[in-house]
Structure 1
Amino acid sequence: MSTSTVITGTGSFIPPVIKYNREFAVNDFYTQDQERIPNAAEEIIEKFRKITGISERRYATEDMSTSDMACLAAQYAIADAAIDPETIDYIIVAHNFGNVMKHTIQMDAVPSLASHVKHALGIANPSCIPYDLLFGCPGWVQGLMQADVYFKAKAAKRCLVIGTEMLSRVIDMYDRDSMIFSDGAGACVAEAREDADNGILGSSAASYALNELQYINMGKSNFPGSDERIRFIKMQGRKVYEFALKYVPLAIKSCLENAGVTLSDVRKIFIHQANEKMDDAIIKALYALYGQTVVTEEVMPLNIRELGNSSVATIPTLFDMVRKGAIPQHSVSPGDIVVFASVGAGMNINAVCYRI
């Protein structure tokens, strides 16, 4: 009998605080060389919206931590799957900045976020193993791939895979890129099923860490004379865009080949919500590899316009929203083939082909 990795439940936590583009109009922006950008803030913000597609983003309330969001998404996924948490073999939590607490520059990594989730769920079973996964924005997809390996090796039957990120507390208010990032958490319950018609069909992953390592990193504030000990997320935007446009289509193509699936079989592509213009270009480049054109609005669901870029949380929250009818123009049905694909710090890329 063959073993399939089937998603039996999903959940997401969308923070309640809405941060609109216009609220950044009071900011003074500087380059990474600490030179003030002379454009009026309103002009910068409108250019930003046209490029990224982002009009608003979500921030967590001050009393929440990164693990709190993970716990809520996990609870929703467990309820959706209708399972007993004590039967979970692994809790895999993807993030990039630890358990970011309010009013502090410290990002706690001990105990692990996964251990926090196990504690919050009240799981007593010592055979439920929690651990964290740092793989850049593709972390949740990589966690799903790890669950697939466990199942095929008969090392587990049920995994909880979570992506959670509190980016609002690691951004530099003097950096234009700060407008991209947001908070959120998404989760799924994945289970091993024998001879199932649905589940993961194939996957692929790649990492480029020679010349590309610093494309996304941590650095000091752009504000002149800032304390170098305090670090914020930084990006080389143009290089990230060019890298993603070159390598993500190839990763998806490799994934489809591994799955034995043609591009025409794919109904939806759930791509990391990094930048709407970039995502649109990636999907068009993918179809161009097959000599095809595409109306991206038909195959590429989006929530970046309202939710911003929440890193590892973008794909699981997007998938949960589409599954539950929260994005009316997109839906999935049993038998549909979809792709999850992401790119992020490392620089890492991955993709999973999945039949609903």
Structure 2
Amino acid sequence: METRTKQKGKTMAGVKLLGLGKARGDRLVTNDDLARQVDTSDQWIREKSGIQSRYFAVEKTETDLAAEAAEAAVQSAGVEREKIAVCIVCTFTAEDQTPAAACSVAGRLGLSEEILALDVNGACAGFIYGCHLANGLLAMEKDRYALVIGSEKISPFMNLEDRGSCVLFGDGAGAAVLSFDEAADFVFYGGCRPDRDVLHCRRGGYIEMGGQEVYRFAVSVVPKAIAKTLEKAQMTEADIDYFVCHQANERIIDAAARRISQNPSKFFKNLYSYGNTSAASIPIALCEMEEQGLLQAGTRLVCTGFGAGLSYGSMLISR
């Protein structure tokens, strides 16, 4: 990997990735499996989204997924558990309205009682929001660590009579241990275009989505969010090793790649075997990149999420 230097006079500080972990549902569901329940086909799903299969959590709860991914991330980071000061679970599918899933995860992992544990519902941008919050909190406790988890059990909220949405989602979790570093690159950019109707899941109901409206929103906001993040960081596309977008739809990612870079291989994709796992998709992707040897010390990433709200968030972060 080429060695880069920060621009003259530019100083940055913030969180960086120390350890990563992931978990997935316990049942593999292929497109052909869904075609036996829904008026669809493997070809139609692949052409519309790129997705080939996904996992459903049958025996596992959302908290089980979160705790499994978190345990893997903590072990990967090799940090002392008593020094984890923040535990954030980013989810819209927690099984309890209260207490927070983060409290259960902290308990299962044996983290310190003196921990800030809370859930964040930022939809598919949730993991980005969680990292942004952790960055601010660790700036005040620089010798501590944060555990940020994106975890979703979406399958119970899928309407199998709505072929436009039910074929897109899967269950899983991804987690990251973060530390604060005075020399680290961290920048956040995000926002919300208030709209409750285009994409929502009302209490006790199913996910409802206007596919074309969501697609138009995503292909406009993702390149904008990436460009704004680079602008805030005073960097260009050439300074970034990889772009990790929310793994919702291959066409959305490819559209962003064409507008941002002449090298589409910089845009990592793993939605083929996971589907859309909402807040879990970006940390799962990061963990898979780690497993594939793509992340090294100093690797720069721009991660961008978008979803219900209509919310969006993008961050520059390094390994």
Q: What TM-score does the superposition give when structure 1 sets the normalisation length?
A: 0.82
Letter in 1 for 2:21: G
Does 1:70 find its partner at 2:55? no
Match of 1:334 among 281, 293, 297: 297
Partner secondary structure for residue 123 of structure 2: coil
Deviation at 1:150, TM superposition (A): 1.4
Deviation at 1:271, TM superposition (A): 0.5
Question: How many residue pairs align between the two structures?
Answer: 308
Distance 1:13 1:51, change over 3 A: same
Match of 1:46 among 26, 43, 46: 43
Partner of 1:133: 120
Deviation at 1:303, TM superposition (A): 1.0
Does 1:201 find its partner at 2:186? yes
Partner of 1:249: 223
CA contact (8 A) 2:26 2:60 kept: no
Query: Counterparts of 1:64-143 in structure 2 under 5 Å?
Result: 64-99=60-95, 108-123=96-111, 125-143=112-130
Does 1:188 find its partner at 2:171? no
1-structure distance, mates of 2:296, 2:144:
24
Letter in 1 for 2:148: V
Letter in 2 for 1:258: K
Partner secondary structure for residue 138 of structure 1: helix
Partner of 2:196: 213
Distance 1:3 1:281, change over 3 A: closer
1-structure distance, mates of 2:215, 2:260:
15
Match of 1:312 among 270, 279, 284: 279
Q: C-alpha offsets along residues 42-64 of structure 1, whole Å, 9 cap, x if unaligned? A: 3xx4222112001111112x321
Letter in 1 for 2:315: V
Partner of 2:5: none
2-structure distance, mates of 1:230, 1:167:
13
Q: C-alpha offsets along residues 99-132 of structure 1, whole Å, 9 cap, x if unaligned? A: 2xxxxxxxx2212100110111123x33211000
Letter in 1 for 2:15: T
Partner secondary structure for residue 185 of structure 2: strand
Distance 1:48 1:143, change over 3 A: same
Distance 1:230 1:146, change over 3 A: closer
Match of 1:262 among 233, 236, 248: 236
Deviation at 1:250, TM superposition (A): 0.9
2-structure distance, mates of 1:88, 1:286:
36
Query: Counterparts of 1:148-167 in structure 2 under 5 Å?
Result: 148-154=135-141, 157-167=144-154
Letter in 2 for 1:64: K
Letter in 2 for 1:170: F
Q: C-alpha offsets along residues 296-316 of structure 1, whole Å, 9 cap, x if unaligned? A: 2x1111111111111111100
Deviation at 1:16, TM superposition (A): 3.4
Partner of 1:15: 25
Deviation at 1:2, TM superposition (A): 6.7
Partner secondary structure for residue 248 of structure 2: coil
Deviation at 1:20, TM superposition (A): 0.7
Distance 1:179 1:157, change over 3 A: same
2-structure distance, mates of 1:201, 1:26:
46
Letter in 2 for 1:172: N
Partner secondary structure for residue 92 of structure 1: strand
Distance 1:16 1:64, change over 3 A: closer
Deviation at 1:156, TM superposition (A): 7.2
State which structure, 1 or 2, has the greater radius of gyration over its C-alpha atoms.
1
Distance 1:335 1:7, change over 3 A: closer
Q: What TM-score does the superposition give when structure 2 sets the normalisation length?
A: 0.91
Deviation at 1:3, TM superposition (A): 4.2
1-structure distance, mates of 2:106, 2:287:
21
2-structure distance, mates of 1:182, 1:19:
9
CA RMSD of aligned residues (A): 1.9
Structure 1 unaligned spans of 5+: 30-40, 100-107, 220-228, 288-293
1-structure distance, mates of 2:299, 2:34:
40
Does 1:27 find its partner at 2:37? yes
CA contact (8 A) 1:200 1:352 kept: no
Does 1:173 find its partner at 2:160? yes
Distance 1:278 1:2, change over 3 A: closer
CA contact (8 A) 2:45 2:52 kept: no
